[in-house]
Structures are given as C-alpha cells and as structure tokens.
Amino acid sequence: MSDTPVVTRFAPSPTGFLHIGGARTALFNWLYARGRGGKFLLRIEDTDRARSTPEATQAILDGLTWLGLDWDGEATSQFEAATRHAEVAHQLLSEGKAYKCFSTQEEIAAFREQAKAEGRSTLFRSPWRDVPEAEHPDAPFVIRIKAPQDGEISIQDAVQGEVTWKAETLDDMILLRSDGTPVYMLAVVVDDHDMGVTHVIRGDDHLANAARQSMIYTAMGWDLPTFAHIPLIHGPDGKKLSKRHGALGVEEYAAMGYTPSGLRNYLARLGWSHGDDEVFTDAQALEWFDLSGIGKAPARLDFKKMENICGHHIAMSDDKVLMRDIEHYAANDMQQNLSQTQKDKLAEALSVLKGNSKTLGALLDKAHFILGSRPFTPDEKAAKQLNSVSRGILKELTPHLQTATWSREMLESVLNDFAASKEMGFGKLAGPLRAALSGRAVSPSVFDMMMLIGQEETLARLEDAQGT
RNA sequence: GGGGUGUUCGUCUAGUGGUCAGGACAUUCGUCUUUCCAACGAAAAGCAGGGGUUCGACUCCCCUACACCCUACCA
C-alpha cells in the first residue's frame, strides 16, 4: 500500500478507566494502522508514579478489549524506559543542546508570581543557559533543552494544517528533573522514536506540546512523525467532558447496553466523516478511514444518536457476535449469568429479537418471555391488559389453540378467525394474549412468541393468566 | 498576561468562489400495525457578528465575540 509501514500508538495514562475520549483516540489510531496493514501499539504512560495504578492499567486494557481494539505485541511501560530517556537527555547535554539549570522551584515560582502581578509574561528564562561548567555550583539541577531563541517553530499537522509559534514564546523546557527522572515531554518523544511510530494521532490538547516536542526531535536529529491532533469530545452541553456528565468510561457505555461495534461506529463518526455514510461495518471503516476526513471542531456526545447507530448494529450483527455481547452484558452489567438453556433459547429467538432493539437492555427486555419462567407475573402495563373481560376472551380462545396445528400460518388464521367471530379488532385480542405470554406490554409478535415457546407452554401460560 | 486552535439546522456532519446549502439523529405531524418496541412518510430547522477582496462569498483576508487547549521538576 505504502512504502513505509504505518505504526500508530495509543498512550494512555493509567490514572483511571478508559475515557470515552481516549477510546475514540485509540479507535482512530487502530483504524489508521489496521486499515493500512500497519501496527497499532499500546504504551502505558505511567511515569507519574503517584497517580498510576495497576488497576487503572487493567481497566484500560479491559476497555480496549471490550471495544474490540487489539494492539500489537505487549503493552509497554513508559516508566520502565526511564534510563533510556535519561540517556537521551545526557546526550543532548554533552552535545551542548541542553544545559544544567540550578534555579530552584522556589525561585521560579517567585518569578512567575511577580511576572503575573506585573502583567508580564510568565515565561521563565533560566540564567544558567550559558553559564560555563566551571562556574556550576554543587547543587541539585534539572536539565533543560536549549530552545531556539529566535525565528519560528512550525509543525505540519495532518488535521490542523501548518501551525506556527514564535520561538520567543517557547521556553527552555525541562527534560530531566532534579531527581534524574525524565519528564513526560521527553519520554514521549524518545518512546515514539524508539518504537518507530510514524503517525502520532492524539487529542489536540497536545497540539501546543508538539512544538516543544519537535525541538527534541530536531536536537536529536530524528525525523518527525506525522502529527494528527484531533479535537476533543465534549459533553452534550458543549462543555468539556467532566465527572458531572457521568458516563466517562467505556464500561459505562457497556453498562448502558451499547454494543462494541455500535460504539465503534458512533465514535468513528464523531469528528470524522466519509461523505454521508452514517452506518457502516468495520470493514468499511477500515477501508474509508483517513486523516483527511477528520474535522477540526470539537464534537458533542449525543446519546440518542448513539442509540440509533447501536440499534442498526444490533440488527445487522452476526448472531455469534451478538450472543457474546449479550452474555457479556448480562454477566457484567446485570449480574445475571445466563444459563445454558437460556442461551439456547436466546439463540433460537435472536432473529426476531434483534430487528428492533436499540440496546442490549431493550433486547433482553423483549426476551423476557423466553428468559423467564412460569408463572409470569405481569408488569404494570401488562396487568392492565388482563382484566376480567380479556381473561374471558383468553379462556374462550384456549380450546381453539388446543386443537390447532402449530404452524405460523395456522395460528394466524385461528387467531384472525377468532377475533372476527368476536367482532373485535385483532389488537383487542393480541394485547391480552401478549400480556399472558410474556407478562409485558412490549414483546415480539404474538405469533413469533407462540412459535418459539410451543403449544404446550402457550396453553400453560394462558391457563396461568386466567387463573388469577 | 502570553501563545495556539476552533465556530454550517438543537446535535453529528457534507460542502473548498456560482448548490433551492445535502444527509443522519433528535423534534413535530402523519401512515401502518399485533405492541407506549420497532418500521415507514412528511414537515420544520443552519452558514456566530462585522468589515473587506470579488461580477459573485459558507468557502479567501482582517477584526470582534464566544468556546477550548498550552503556558508545571502532571501526563
């Protein structure tokens, strides 16, 4: 396809679950790499020891797995490469492209405070940039990069276009802390280079960082990867996604009954488009996805649309995949492990269930007639269908069903004839019948249900409904 | 304070100087029906504001407004 194989990566910080925005970033990287026969790598940015936890790492891995985004090789730990990062910092130091800065954090903080008070730029200029080694004190120091002091720095971004900064607006950022540990900005660049990442697709909160990072690439004489800074996702109110919006982690979307493929489709369509295509398969997404189709404006989450897309995916889902999704949903989000018999019944009924359910929850609701067992206690709405009059009707209907041949055509004619003989609309008959068969006011068609549960069970449920 | 980015129906978006500004979700109203599930049909709804450039701007330039990001020995 192309001469240089594509390598992308997703690099989350393990400080919480897999964020929905992170999930989309991962998806874009995955689509781009997989659609081009490239590699999709996973790197855990765990250099912040205080906030990183193994549980969070696991949650992220689980989230990606649930979403169906598989990565190549083992997930790597950024923290474990700290020595290599420090090595690069020292190389830059010995090449005169970086320097030791002895300014203390207190000094810098005081400077910033004063600058702010006076309304000046808070950009810190270290006085140590050109101080010769001989004059260095014996004190803790950080290593800072020597940023260019004049001219411009610009990066070519696949989404944002050319973005330029004046050199004087950029400071000599720290590469290595006074305790010798590398700073994020250095770690990312070194890791991306070492891992052979060709395309850095990430949130546009990193756009400004890209300028700083490019200085490291340049100083090391490394080729820059292609950058693609994608706009962030906002909450339905247009504000930045935060705790008060709820539903931040992908597992919450799983709990709401969305399917992985539905969410993939929805997320791909958020901030990216391929003409007017709204509902598409993974194969199509893989074929169509390109950086040029990514928009620049932040997008808002819209649960209604998510539901709609998900409904399409449930309907077009492969039965095996759908069964797996349902089992996962039932086990994890409803604390209900389906028995083998329930699974078998579900598999049998899948074709009538999947056509009109937008979420797995809705699907399982409709499956109640096959998942539950006698006697069915009608819910509130179903109970309304079962008054003394309708019970009488069901009672009269029973003998007709006892003698009927159990085929769909036969049942249709039996029920229609019966309704006609009573001079009532079919709806008047189907309502109570539905309530009796499923205990619900919403279910699949009464014929589908009768065919699925069989004659004996149908009669038994009718009996139950008449009883009380 | 400094720097960067963004702004097309309520929402996601198509659109790169000449279009009745298209599609989808949602909404409203209908249709169908065996279901307050679903399906189907129709309607309504938009280029943030102001200046330019041009025969002609949603499209190009400038300004304003608003939003967001960066401005840490966090990532």
Burial of A343: CB neighbours in 10 Å, binned 0-12, 13-18, 19+: middle
From first to last of its 468 residues, what are the pLDDT tens digits of chain A?
A: 446 899 999 999 998 899 999 999 999 999 999 999 999 999 999 988 888 999 999 999 999 999 999 999 999 999 999 999 999 999 999 999 999 999 999 999 999 888 888 888 888 999 999 999 999 999 999 999 999 988 889 999 999 999 999 998 899 999 999 999 999 999 999 999 999 999 999 999 999 999 999 999 999 999 999 999 999 898 888 777 777 776 788 999 999 999 999 999 999 999 999 999 999 999 999 999 999 999 999 999 999 999 999 999 999 999 999 999 999 999 887 777 888 999 999 999 999 999 889 999 999 999 999 998 888 888 888 888 888 888 888 998 999 999 888 988 889 989 988 988 888 888 888 999 999 999 998 999 999 999 999 999 999 999 888 775
Q: What string of DSSP letters covers A96-145?
A: TSEEEE---HHHHHHHHHHHHHTT-------TTTT--GGG--SS--EEEE
**What residues have CB less than 8 Å from A324, skipping those under 6 apart?**
none
Beta bridge partners, A42, equal: A10
CB pairs under 8 A, 24+ apart, for A404-408?
A404/A455, A406/A450, A406/A451, A406/A454, A406/A455, A408/A447, A408/A451
**Minimum-distance nucleotide, CA of A274 to C1':** B14
Nucleotides of B under 7 A from a protein CB: 1-8, 10-15, 22-27, 33-39, 67-75
Task: Tell whether omega for the bond before A260 is within 30 degrees of 0, i.e. cis.
Answer: no
How far does the CA of A297 sit from the C1' of B48, in Å?
A: 14
Catalytic residue flag (residue A243): yes
Residue A464, CB, strand B, below 7 Å: no
* Pairwise CA distance, residues A412 & A40, whole Å: 54
Q: What pLDDT was estimated at residue A1?
A: 45
Residue A95, CB, strand B, below 7 Å: no
Residue A357, CB, strand B, below 7 Å: yes
> Quick one: DSSP state of residue A19?
B
Phi, psi of A389 (to 5 degrees): -65, -50
Unique residue bearing structure tokens 């492969």: A318
Q: Spell out the alpha helix ranges (H) of A139-293.
A: 184-194, 207-220, 250-255, 260-269, 282-288
> Quick one: DSSP state of residue A355?
G
Question: Is the separation of the CB atoms in A404 and A366 below 8 Å?
Answer: no
* Pairwise CA distance, residues A72 & A209, whole Å: 26
How far does the CA of A79 sit from the C1' of B50, in Å?
A: 52
Q: What pLDDT was estimated at residue A453?
A: 92
Using alpha carbons, select from A420, A430, A421 the residue that is nearest to residue A450.
Answer: A430
Show the CA angle centred on residue A444, arms to residues A439 and A450, nearest 5°.
75
Q: Which two tokens stand for residue A364?
A: 């399982």
Using alpha carbons, select from A208, A204, A197 the residue that is nearest to residue A228.
Answer: A204
Q: What pLDDT was estimated at residue A347?
A: 93
* Pairwise CA distance, residues A102 & A372, whole Å: 72
* Pairwise CA distance, residues A46 & A69, whole Å: 21
Marked catalytic residue, from A243, A354, A422, A428: A243
Q: How far apart are the first and last CA of chain A?
A: 70
What type of residue is A213? Q
How far does the CA of A357 sit from the C1' of B25, in Å?
A: 16
**Minimum-distance nucleotide, CA of A163 to C1':** B4
How far does the CA of A400 sit from the C1' of B7, in Å?
A: 66
Full strand arrangement of the beta sheet holding A98-101: A98-101, A142-145, A174-176
Q: How far is CA A83 from the centre of its chain?
A: 33
Q: What pLDDT was estimated at residue A465?
A: 85
| Virtual torsion, Cα A215, A217, A220, A222, nearest 10 deg | -150
* Pairwise CA distance, residues A268 & A290, whole Å: 11
Using alpha carbons, select from A311, A251, A230, A266 the residue that is nearest to residue A66.
Answer: A251
**Minimum-distance nucleotide, CA of A272 to C1':** B13
* Pairwise CA distance, residues A186 & A177, whole Å: 11
* Pairwise CA distance, residues A70 & A54, whole Å: 19
Unique residue bearing structure tokens 């169509």: A288
Within residues 185-204 of protein chain A, the ones with CB less than 7 A from nucleic strand B are 185, 187, 204
How far does the CA of A308 sit from the C1' of B30, in Å?
A: 22
* Pairwise CA distance, residues A449 & A260, whole Å: 28
